[in-house]
Amino acid sequence: MQLWSIGPLTLIACAHFFGCTALLGHLDVPPIRRLHVKQQKGFTLIELMIVVAIIGLIASFAFPAYNDHVMKTRFAEVNSISNTYKTAVALCFSETNDLMVCDAGTHGIPAPAEATDNLAAGMTVIDGVITMAGTQAAGGWVSVLVPTLSSSGSTLNWTQNGTCLASGACK
């Protein structure tokens, strides 16, 4: 094989393409190495760690909000039961025209409700005031409904009190 110009690039090209290693023996020129580009397969560890951190951050905000929502939903049973007693107290007042006689178990007002998964034991109706507490699963909040006479004295207005107001669990 003849080379018309003898120089480092010619020798390297000859060695690389034609296997002319004999020409490179007296020169200190390293043979050309092919650059191999690695193909990425899958995700790197840092990418996976970033995804896990983002999911953890989202969960740290979502879980407490979900838990609070579940407790308020459970406390809705307490509010629902209290509506039955509000109606009964209003009927008692319309018949007797006196709230002082409107207690649980008298004048058509049902006896205190049995405890449920959401309603704690010990609910009371005394002088028309309805007091109920939720279980820990229902937030443990207390609802107190106080009847007051309207300005005309013929209808009842209900005032909501208790710890359920601060959490927004009361109606």
Judge if 21 and 57 occupy the same domain: no
Judge if 2 and 62 occupy the same domain: no
Judge if 17 and 57 occupy the same domain: no
Neighbouring-strand partners of residue 25: none
Per-position DSSP letters for 136-158, written without gaps between them: GGGTT-EEEEEEEE-TTSSSEEE
Instruction: Give 90-119 pLDDT, tens digit per residue.
Output: 999 999 999 999 999 999 999 999 999 999
Judge if 109 and 136 occupy the same domain: yes
Q: Which domain holds residue 94?
A: 45-167
**Which residue type does 110 have?**
P
Which helix (H) or strand (E) element contains residue 133? strand 129-133
Q: How far apart are the first and last CA of the chain?
A: 98
Cβ(171)–Cβ(153) under 8 Å? no
Which CATH number fits the domain that encloses residue 163?
3.30.700
Q: What dihedral angle (degrees, nearest 10) is formed by the CA atoms of 41, 45, 49, 51? A: -10
Judge if 51 and 106 occupy the same domain: yes
Instruction: Give 42-93 pLDDT, tens digit per residue.
Output: 889 999 999 999 999 999 999 989 999 999 999 999 999 999 999 999 999 9
Judge if 28 and 49 occupy the same domain: no
- In whole angstroms, give the CA distance from residue 96 to residue 88: 12
Residue with tokens 């296997």: 19
**Report field, pTM of the whole predicted structure over 0.75:** no
Domain count, the chain: 2
Show the tokens assigned to 170: 């009361």
Judge if 24 and 86 occupy the same domain: no
Judge if 117 and 58 occupy the same domain: yes
Binned at pLDDT 50, 70 and 90, residue 29 comes out as low
Neighbouring-strand partners of residue 143: 132
Q: Which of 131, 134, 136, 163 is nearest to 146 (CA)?
A: 131
Judge if 51 and 73 occupy the same domain: yes
